[in-house]
Structure 1
């Protein structure tokens, strides 16, 4: 009798699984050791709306790296070299986002890609990836706060130490408060910042085009003048006797800088567990990112290469100055005789730096919360308020903003350089893990009989774009500090490659302590603790008028 009841119960479970689109061979792992089912602990709430998610996706692709860092890229590699570097890195960033986007639409849960790595590759890889992503984002927050403070000095030339300290304190408090108030306030702030960025980049592209065609007050038609003289590709100076090789090295030198500009694009999937209708909204955001990269980044780099020569004396003199004055756009605008725009540009770039610090704090707190849910961080970090805010995770992450006060001391410059390098290589590592995890995810899904095309988002060029992304990110990690080998310096070598041993120690330490092993395709769990589309998706209301149809296209 008991056997008959057990068989009947098993048959009912199989029928229920089939109705939900779960193949009969799908694995459901109830072993508490892996913390796959955390419904009882996960208290975050879905408060990010469609417009928030779509604009966050845009904000993740536009930042100070484009507005300010592009000047350094231009002076290093020339207009064509910078364009090639940004285009290549753009494809790698896009492949990584496609990979994590597809996994996130299947499993829109807290913990995001570090948990996916633990769930479908190796628990030790998830642990190392989660902590790597946490500390690289946590230390990026004070770096962006410092950048915002420097931008304020555009209007406060030769600011005394007391001013710098006050600016830093105010920005730290504002960034922390936005995150402490909750995800709704975070979403609204990023929505506003994204609109400012959009207006700025579109305005700069149009202004740049007008200036290039001779529409500025000085009536100078530039065209592609600077591609011919001084040339399309600059030389790095490491191989003076080999021009072609030296130009190739210049392009390599910009790859790392370009990659830093694209980092943070994955913010939209970090917020999957707090997004309304996450499968539909994340799928829509990922599909649109390709065009945003093409329009904003590629056209932006093309435009500055037309406006300013790579050996421009003003561009070289302002190298290392992190205000609007160093932006190639502003150099061209000033030279064309337009006086008021630089102040507007600096104000908009300030909001971009503030937004970046805001986003890094959000990402670090949510990944820390996800680690705690899976037993890979202290359990007190799983605490959430009644409104779904992981308060202690936010407070711990907010403590890192205090590091921004190091910028007040001139002797802390070297430490901040370490932070930037650690953040950059940590970002490469995260991209690499996203692509590798997707390849294992895809293998397991196919072996267990899942139809990948039925997922809310599926890229038809997979798995090839993930192979592309994994290969290039591994290359970026290895060549990050290549210039040090022409004139070896132990300190520079350390800052360029220190993240590699940190990641390896995290991975091997957890692996040997917990005795973890790689998941085989037939052992991977694609079901347990993952909400069904019926649980997460709300009916999409069709636009009722022309205004709503336009909003639906934009957002």
Structure 2
């Protein structure tokens, strides 16, 4: 980083110049054609990006799909268990990223500290993860629209969403950062709003004055026997809920994605990673608890939405909160919440498309994707990468032949495998990082973030992620549940990942970096970041901004 870049950091930078990188891209600016790295995200912005990225459609809609399989108790227990595994993964992300806050951190670390072939596979896996989530959001939008009417053709919904995303990503890229910042605040208010709704209605604050409390935990019950009977059936229900949790709970990768754009990263990022445990407990485990309170696991509307049995104007969307509002006769509030969730879904899809485009563009710049994906318009838009990601988004048209709920499940399966692969490989990368720190005599107590109980948490993270990857299709092997289609959906991304590693290994003849021998400075990058932080002058901020910053830190 040059002295010229240091001088640019000292003046205040407007919020609408905030930068968001994708984890597989090397382009770090939203500004078209700009190559200067600007570290201008403050603590509140990093926290809100982390929250906004993590609180997605899964929290409001798809998450409840496993409630009928496990019951409210298994549902909550599964999310608590998986939150524990994700905390272990977070400790791996945190120590490495805070030590070296660079663009595309976990992809670059995998390439530099383990094997270039691993980095190549992680980059493509991350791209597919982001790309598959865009049609997921479009399908979810169609489900939400069905709350009011089913008269709008599915094809029209898909085409309109794709066109809107195309236009926004072409003409409004420079406003992406500020838009996502405020959308993240909106999501926080929305989720606390539904939590408040849960508490108020369960103690009797509803039109029926029915203090239902934990009634549904008693009738129809707290646990469900899934696939088979007895304890084995209840265990299967728990595994089904854990599979849903692996899709829903995310977050450390979103903090990592803005590491290279954070001012004073070694001061701000540790706070963001440390708060991840609280975000999981509040937003994810809290949602699991609330959903099991507001509706019974055998609610007929919930079952009908996901089976595709519901048809007709005015049918309910798949959000358990909206179903609960309808059951209690709170129709006006249900419409309001449905509309608010729609804005969240639209924002999520736009952000995911942006990330996937920058991921593909970044890989093309590094020679890991066809070179034409690096071509940009005069405004700096990676147009061919954008069109490629929109082409993958056309998977949303699968709704024309199957129910929206079923297509949602297909895409969730693919995304879950992608997430688990990168989480497990990040934990593996950490073990190489840990071995190099130890062998090269670097005292971990001097690091800006010290991962707790390491390296044992890394081993637990590897075990949990690999176990859940293999368990994705557990139901295929019980009571004659075999299905080629579901086997493909559950495990195809694992095969894709292995092929990517093998392909790059053969083509580039990459070498495995033995544990303890990694270049922990990444060719002088660490020294540049050290110099940047030593020379950085914090931007002045108002008292209100300082208070807001402290609140979210």
Return closer, same or farther for 1:405/1:244 CA change in 2, 3 Å cut-off.
closer
Matches within 5 A, 1:172-321: 172-180=162-170, 184-236=174-226, 238-240=227-229, 243-263=230-250, 266-320=253-307
Return closer, same or farther for 1:176/1:99 CA change in 2, 3 Å cut-off.
farther
Matches within 5 A, 1:360-379: 360-379=352-371
Return closer, same or farther for 1:309/1:418 CA change in 2, 3 Å cut-off.
closer
Residues 120, 519 of structure 1: 8 Å contact kept: yes
Is 1:499 the counterpart of 2:493 in the alignment? Answer: yes
Gaps of 5+ in 2: 1-25
Alpha-carbon distance, 1:399 to partner: 3.2
In structure 2, C-alpha distance between the alignment counterparts of 1:529 and 1:183, rounded to whole Å: 32
In structure 2, C-alpha distance between the alignment counterparts of 1:83 and 1:371, rounded to whole Å: 39
Residues 380, 392 of structure 1: 8 Å contact kept: no
Alpha-carbon distance, 1:362 to partner: 3.0
Residues 213, 221 of structure 1: 8 Å contact kept: yes
Return closer, same or farther for 1:551/1:264 CA change in 2, 3 Å cut-off.
closer
Return closer, same or farther for 1:370/1:105 CA change in 2, 3 Å cut-off.
farther
Residues 60, 262 of structure 1: 8 Å contact kept: no
Alpha-carbon distance, 1:78 to partner: 0.6
Deviation sequence 1:364-400 (CA, Å, 0-9, x none): 233334434443234555567899x673575255433
**Corresponding residue number in structure 2 for 1:11:** none
In structure 2, C-alpha distance between the alignment counterparts of 1:295 and 1:459, rounded to whole Å: 22
In structure 2, C-alpha distance between the alignment counterparts of 1:206 and 1:415, rounded to whole Å: 31
In structure 2, C-alpha distance between the alignment counterparts of 1:234 and 1:550, rounded to whole Å: 44
Is 1:481 the counterpart of 2:478 in the alignment? Answer: no
- Structure-2-length-normalised TM-score: 0.83
Q: Secondary structure at the match of 1:349?
A: helix
In structure 2, C-alpha distance between the alignment counterparts of 1:275 and 1:384, rounded to whole Å: 26
**Corresponding residue number in structure 2 for 1:118:** 111
Deviation sequence 1:226-265 (CA, Å, 0-9, x none): 22222211110x223xx11100011101111121112465
Residues 79, 305 of structure 1: 8 Å contact kept: yes
Alpha-carbon distance, 1:480 to partner: 0.2
> In the alignment, which of 65, 74, 83 is matched to residue 72 of structure 1?
65
Residues 235, 247 of structure 1: 8 Å contact kept: yes
In structure 2, C-alpha distance between the alignment counterparts of 1:60 and 1:90, rounded to whole Å: 17
Is 1:461 the counterpart of 2:450 in the alignment? Answer: no
Residues 256, 480 of structure 1: 8 Å contact kept: yes
Gaps of 5+ in 1: 1-36
- Aligned CA RMSD, in angstroms, stands at 3.1
Return closer, same or farther for 1:145/1:384 CA change in 2, 3 Å cut-off.
same
Q: Which structure would you say has the larger Rg?
A: 1
> In the alignment, which of 96, 101, 104 is matched to residue 108 of structure 1?
101
In structure 1, C-alpha distance between the alignment counterparts of 2:282 and 2:538, rounded to whole Å: 28
In structure 2, C-alpha distance between the alignment counterparts of 1:247 and 1:129, rounded to whole Å: 35
Deviation sequence 1:5-25 (CA, Å, 0-9, x none): xxxxxxxxxxxxxxxxxxxxx
In structure 1, C-alpha distance between the alignment counterparts of 2:259 and 2:173, rounded to whole Å: 12
Return closer, same or farther for 1:534/1:340 CA change in 2, 3 Å cut-off.
farther
Alpha-carbon distance, 1:549 to partner: 1.9
> In the alignment, which of 390, 394, 398 is matched to residue 399 of structure 1?
390
Q: Secondary structure at the match of 1:518?
A: coil
Return closer, same or farther for 1:449/1:282 CA change in 2, 3 Å cut-off.
same
**Corresponding residue number in structure 2 for 1:27:** none
Is 1:355 the counterpart of 2:352 in the alignment? Answer: no
Matches within 5 A, 1:26-175: 43=35, 45-46=37-38, 49-50=41-42, 51-155=44-148, 157-161=149-153, 164-175=154-165
In structure 1, C-alpha distance between the alignment counterparts of 2:162 and 2:254, rounded to whole Å: 20
- Structure-1-length-normalised TM-score: 0.83
Residues 369, 390 of structure 1: 8 Å contact kept: no
Q: Secondary structure at the match of 1:191?
A: helix
In structure 1, C-alpha distance between the alignment counterparts of 2:393 and 2:317, rounded to whole Å: 27
